[in-house]
């Protein structure tokens, strides 16, 4: 089932998502629709999104959080709703403790910088290996009304990009006695560097996958398994490809 079809077949609620998100979600999640996915969405609002995910993942457990107490009325069957602030670390850990760990976390909450960053810092380490953390509407990093005096989400995400190659950032090649020598240097790096396997940016939405990240190896387990090793390819002066094998 496509995400758009799930919206049309939902029980109730009013949708409020960018239309171009729909095929992007399909490209990640359509293949695992029948698996027992455990999903958390930050925002309940008028309920449509929770009921869409309920239809999209028929064997799932859906959790929603919102600051509006009225949203608790949307609880039913496999949908659980918690009332609290997405920037409250204690609250987020409580939710994870009761209905987590999650395969998918989707932040469509208040879109303020501190909210987005705090939610990620708290929930991503608790995400299942191989799972996805999705931030919707990260374009608010460019809209002044969402600034709150601290770091912008886009700058935080750029730091995560650097962390994907943390092992390269910690090594420098120098020439010593006419030979290239690699030395290790101390550099500050993200706490997430070794547990983020990939980051995928789109217009107003970003997918961050949890997985083992080491030099030459990326590995995910769980709902979205994937394992890769770097293949070292050498090209001779005659432009012939010389396959060296796995690094």
Q: Which residues are known to be catalytic?
A: 111
Burial of 181 per CB tally in 10 Å (0-12, 13-18, 19+):
exposed
Closest CA to 41 of 30, 51, 29, 31: 51
C-alpha span between 43 and 68 (Å, rounded): 9
178: left (phi over 0), alpha (psi -120 to 50) or beta: left
**Tokens of residue 110, six digits:** 């208040």
- State the residue for tokens 């990620």: 120
Tell me how crowded residue 180 is: count the other CB atoms within 10 A of its CB: 8
- State the residue for tokens 């709902």: 223
Secondary structure element (H or E) that encloses residue 105, with its range: strand 104-107
C-alpha span between 114 and 105 (Å, rounded): 17
**Tokens of residue 60, six digits:** 């799932």
Helix (H, G, I), strand (E, B) or coil at 64: strand
C-alpha span between 1 and 51 (Å, rounded): 14
């Amino acid at each position: 089932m496509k995400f758009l079809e799930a919206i049309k077949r939902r029980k109730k609620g009013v949708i409020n998502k960018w239309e171009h998100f729909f095929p992007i979600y399909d490209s990640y999640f359509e293949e695992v629709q029948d698996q027992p996915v455990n999903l958390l969405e930050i925002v309940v609002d008028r309920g449509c999104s929770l009921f869409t995910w309920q239809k999209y993942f028929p064997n799932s457990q859906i959790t929603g959080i919102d600051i509006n107490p009225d949203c608790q009325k949307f609880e039913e069957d496999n949908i659980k709703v918690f009332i609290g602030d997405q920037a409250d670390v204690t609250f987020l850990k409580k939710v994870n403790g009761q209905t987590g760990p999650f395969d998918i976390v989707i932040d469509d909450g208040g879109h303020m910088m501190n909210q987005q960053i705090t939610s990620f810092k708290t929930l991503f380490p608790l995400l299942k290996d191989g799972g996805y953390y999705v931030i919707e509407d990260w374009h608010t990093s460019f809209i002044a009304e969402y600034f709150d005096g601290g770091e912008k989400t886009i700058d935080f995400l750029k730091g995560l990009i650097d962390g994907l190659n943390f092992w390269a950032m910690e090594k420098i090649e120098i020439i010593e006695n006419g030979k290239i020598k690699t030395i290790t240097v101390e550099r500050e790096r993200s706490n997430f560097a070794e547990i983020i396997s990939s980051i995928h940016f789109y217009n107003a939405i970003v997918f961050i996958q949890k997985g083992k990240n080491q030099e030459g190896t990326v590995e995910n387990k769980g709902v979205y398994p994937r394992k890769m090793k770097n293949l070292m390819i050498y090209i001779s002066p005659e432009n012939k490809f010389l396959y060296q094998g796995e690094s």
